[in-house]
Amino acid sequence: MAKKTFNYGRYSYDYLLIKSERKTISLVIEPDKSIIVKAPLKSKGTDIEKFLKRKWPWMKKQIGYFDNFTIKKYRKEYVSGESFMYLGRQYKLVVRKRKVESVKLQKGVIELNTKRELKNYSHNKQLLTNWYIERGNKIFNERYQEVLKSFDFSFVPILDIRKMNKRWGSFLSNKKIYLNQDLIKASKSCIDYVIIHELCHMVHKKHDKDFYNLLEKKCPDWELRKNRLEMMARYF
């Protein structure tokens, strides 16, 4: 994985080049306008350059589209019909009046059962938040144990989950790792990336060259996962 620059006339764009065992070159432009090129291991720079020039009309059109596309964030009302993210996917919320309160994912929807009024914003929000926290505790610990297998630590840091405003994760010198509880809304690959990132700080405290070399080794597509996480976070 490497960062490259594509120049075409007066235009210049940075892109992420990922080489792997594949037969053809492909191009993806994410909604945040990041450009990702996937190419065979033996691809030459000239081959990729020719491919990008051939794709230029389509690239320009897509980038122009995303330039004009803005995601409008509305204040959630926590009522039936709204969409909520869970593990990287959007699900429709269905609120029902029931004698027993619960939140569960079934048949492609998040079903919220409440004893109170259907449009009780604060209560519905609390029920859904509690569900997210419960699911996060389970999923985060499962992913944490799985990711730990790729490291060889004599001491395993404690995993803790909390609400964080500006970070997805944090590593403390007292050997504790924090994860942002909102990560449960992201895909498992993005959750794994954050865990790997924080575990790499067990070895290298600063974001220096050694840190990124280790991160690249443990998670070769970390930049792609990071970009996807930031893109998904717009819908949180």
pLDDT in tens, 137-170: 999 999 999 999 999 988 888 999 999 888 899 9
Put the strands of the sheet holding 11-20 in their side by side order: 2-8, 11-20, 35-40, 26-29
Give the model's pLDDT for residue 214. 95
Closest C-alpha to 198, from 153, 230, 232: 153
pLDDT of 93? 96
Which pLDDT score, from 0 to 100, does residue 34 have? 82
| Cβ atoms 235, 85 nearer than 8 A | yes
pLDDT in tens, 39-68: 999 999 999 999 999 999 898 888 877 766
Pick the closest to residue 236 from 181, 199, 196 (CA basis).
181
Amino acid 72: pLDDT: 55
Hey, what amino acid is at 233?
Answer: A
State phi, psi for 98 to the nearest 5 degrees: -140, 160
Report the alpha-carbon distance of residue 35 to residue 142 in Å, rounded: 32
pLDDT recorded at residue 69: 54
Task: Dump the DSSP string for 51-73.
Answer: HHHHTHHHHHHHHHHHHS--PPP
Contact assessment for residue 109 and residue 93, using Cβ atoms and an 8 Å cutoff: yes
Identify the segments of the chain with pLDDT beneath 50: none
